[in-house]
Structure 1
Amino acid sequence: MLLPRRWTATAAIPAAATVCVLALLVLAGLISFGAAAATLAFLVALAALAYLAFSVRRLDGKAQRIDLRIRKHEAELARTTAALKTIETRLDQVARAVEDSAARRADDLGAILASLGEDRVNAMTRAREVEALRAEVRALARDSV
């Protein structure tokens, strides 16, 4: 498709030829000056209308390309939004799993510490019992001598 500038440059040669022909016809007396001026005004109006039609057609093509680009970007944005929602859902699941794991770990650590505490208390009680038994054995050993 011709660009408006190129179309104008291409139309300049026939326009100059038309003006020359009209001037020759006026000088030869074949048509009146008023008829030549009216013909020239009509041709200028037609040229302007053609120029505007080409310009509008070109702008319409640009608008269509822009519209296609916008639709492409909207589709890409929709895909990205869907992917982000999927990722967000997955992150929520992972966060819940981490929280559950942390709670289980805290419970396990509490149970381990409680168990260690019970073992220590039991060991201390046994140590006292063993010490008491040793004292009795020593006392018996002294009495028997």
Structure 2
Amino acid sequence: MRSVTPRRLGVMIAALGVAGCLVLLALIVTGALGAATALQLVLAFAALGLLALNLLSLRRADGKVLRLDRKVAALGERFEPASADIRGLRSDLARLTAAVDRLEKSVRQVESRTAASATSVLAALGEDRIEAMSRSSAHADLLLEIGSEIRERVAPAIYQLSSELDLGPDPEPAGLRERHG
């Protein structure tokens, strides 16, 4: 025996309603029932039919909710590894940003030491001091610009992308959030 679906149950209720109306009409024609009594019976059966249809709609809605719950659970299981990967990317990005900060600090220290030693070497060699200092400064500025680009453009873009894909809490370090907005 096949299970009774809401659609099949609705068709059965409609068929029973039509059959009931035909029986009442036959009883009125034969004189077994009065018109007022038949009207009361029709209204009572109509109310019962509406209640049955309401029950069917609730049953259908409940079935849809159950299907959606199953889909959400399946998607949650499917995206769980991705959310772990995103957390890993965030920790890698935090380490990369810290490395860029250390590189910037190191470049500034090297720049100051290079300027001091370049001055003494240039004075000893007699080269054009301004030209050598500008090359050294341009190299240091290039390194600082690369670090700045990573910090200002790449890191926020990766954080934004990971926050759009993440399902869990944001483990972004507080220092990075203040710096990148």
Q: Same fold by TM-score, threshold 0.5 exceeded?
A: yes
Could you tell me which runs of 5 or more consecutive residues in structure 2 were left unpaired when the two chains were aligned.
127-181
1:88 to 87, 90, 104: 90
Q: 1:99 to 1:16 in 2, by over 3 A?
A: closer
Distance, in Å, in 1 between the alignment partners of 2:22 and 2:122 is 120
* Alpha-carbon distance, 1:67 to partner: 4.7
- After superposition, the CA RMSD in angstroms is 3.7
Could you tell me which runs of 5 or more consecutive residues in structure 1 were left unpaired when the two chains were aligned.
125-145
Aligned to 2:10: 7
Aligned to 2:157: none
TM-score by length of 2: 0.47
Distance, in Å, in 1 between the alignment partners of 2:115 and 2:37 is 113
Aligned residues: 121
Deviations 1:23-66 (A, max 9, x none): 2223334x322554443333222212211110111122233344
TM-score by length of 1: 0.56
Larger CA Rg, structure 1 vs 2: 1
Q: In the TM superposition, what are the counterparts of 1:51-62 in structure 2 within 5 Å? A: 51-62=53-64
Structure scoring higher RCO (CA < 8 A, sep ≥ 6) equals 2
Q: In the TM superposition, what are the counterparts of 1:1-145 in structure 2 within 5 Å? A: 1-3=5-7, 7=10, 11-29=13-31, 31-33=32-34, 34-68=36-70, 83-123=85-125
Q: Which residue identity is paired with 1:53?
A: L
* SS of 1:32 mapped into structure 2: coil
* SS of 2:20 mapped into structure 1: helix
Q: 1:122 to 1:12 in 2, by over 3 A?
A: closer
